[in-house]
Amino acid sequence: MSVAAQQLNRKKAPLIKDATEFDLHLKPYQKIVLDNGVEVYAVNAGTQEVMSVELVFFAGNWYEQQNNVAAATNFLLKNGTRTKSAFQINEHFDYYGSHLSRGCYNETANIVLHCINRHLGTHLPVIAELITEAVYPQQELDIYRQNAKQRLSVNLKKCDFVAGRLIDEYVFGRNHPYGVYSNSADYDALNTEQLLAYYKEYYTHGRCVVFAGGLLPADFEKQLNQTIGQLPLNKNHSKEIFHPLTPAVEKKYRIMNDEKGVQGAIRLAQPFPNRHHPDFQKVQVLNTLFGGFFGSRLMSNIREDKGYTYGIHSYILNHIATTAWMISTEAGRDVCEATINEVYHEMEELRNETVEAEELQLVKNYLIGTILGDLDGPFHIIGRWKNLILNGLDEHYFYSSVQTIKSISAEELKQLANKYLQPEKFYELVVV
């Protein structure tokens, strides 16, 4: 028997510590600048021979002149180049057990590779070809258009989908990138010339940032520089585009989408500043208490006590520019108005009553635990760095956020509730 085992007293329970007592550290990244000026942020860590490389382009719908051009350009990026068909491209990555995906968001779009690290050199030339040699075949565009229109037709019958579209329009404005939504006519208006022009400007010559995580090969920088570093990226130096907010004047909406519907989708939202606002980090704590986790006030009242819904959540939208504070749920058609009243009741409680120490400590432990999860492994770590860097923030923001969670008081939360959780600030929507 070891000395440690002999000294272990199994009759005494181990010490339980609050998560707020932990000292959190964000593993630093390594920054590389390729020959063409592309910045690479890498976290070399882990025990398994796997890695991810994400190429982020500033090519989201923030930059498009016509609706759906950004999304279609990104989706069809891997559907054919001058030398490879869509089938051949997919076969290439499948053969090595790798996965290549792409996505389009408000400000950015990406190409993401997950692979075994020894196959990186095989994949990078193909990714480089996607960035410079995509051809956007008419047949692929026709299939994309048909599928998108069919998917839209099905989704428009769902109250939750319709509510998500409309609340963004009310908060940001119909013509703002955060508030615009797709119609069938938008898909019909797409053509290959538009997509190729957008592709050349925002991908082939566009601004690109790379994020990599995992157990990186020893010659990672060399491999990246010989492929991505030789592309004509960062040639597009167009000015930053400003989109003014044009929020709706009316605050309350009731939409009948299905006369036979038995359930309603509820959205409450107000415009909110982005991460650079001094209240943002503190409001994240207030939001968690209010409706940001399973033990929140909204869940305890509206799900557990009243039984109006299976789940209700509040959150701050993950936008880079001006964002919004949103409350989202679905409830029985006959209790939608009662649900909204209970949401406002919980706002009133937070404005008038000081949160008890035990409940506040629970929220703090939950938030610190969430951050701990985000620091588990290189993929999570580079994901957190990506979020900071794309929002123009650094490690000081991370440590400031941790300190805010640990130190914020019940009185501060009450003051924030009186500042922001006022019913008249919120747009109110029910879609049945």
Cβ 57 vs Cβ 208: under 8 Å: yes
Tokens found for residue 100: 């290549």
Q: Alpha carbon of 100 to those of 122, 241, 300: distances in Å?
A: 13, 30, 41
CA-CA distance, 291 to 397, in Å (whole number)? 23
3-state secondary structure of 189: coil
Q: Which pLDDT does position 295 carry in this prediction?
A: 94
Q: Indicate left, alpha or beta for 307 from its phi (over 0: left) and psi (-120 to 50: alpha).
A: left
Domains in the chain, start-ordered, CATH in brackets? 30-230 (3.30.830.10), 252-431 (3.30.830.10)
Query: In this predicted model, what pLDDT tens digit does every residue of 210-222 receive, in sequence order?
Result: 999 999 999 999 9
Q: Which pLDDT does position 6 carry in this prediction?
A: 59
Cite the DSSP H helix spans in 217-356.
Answer: 220-227, 280-287, 297-298, 336-352
CA-CA distance, 182 to 165, in Å (whole number)? 9
Q: Which pLDDT does position 1 carry in this prediction?
A: 52
Q: Which pLDDT does position 5 carry in this prediction?
A: 54
Neighbours of 65 (CB within 10 A): 9
Q: Indicate left, alpha or beta for 377 from its phi (over 0: left) and psi (-120 to 50: alpha).
A: left
Q: Which pLDDT does position 20 carry in this prediction?
A: 77
CA-CA distance, 326 to 272, in Å (whole number)? 9
Query: In this predicted model, what pLDDT tens digit does every residue of 290-329 receive, in sequence order?
Result: 999 999 999 999 999 999 999 999 999 999 999 999 999 9
Q: Which pLDDT does position 120 carry in this prediction?
A: 97
Q: Which residues of the chain have pLDDT under 50?
A: none
CA-CA distance, 65 to 215, in Å (whole number)? 40
The answer to whether the pTM exceeds 0.75 is yes
CA-CA distance, 196 to 182, in Å (whole number)? 20
Cβ 99 vs Cβ 113: under 8 Å: yes
Look up tokens 């500043």; give the residue. 273
CA-CA distance, 123 to 238, in Å (whole number)? 30
Tokens found for residue 327: 């409350």
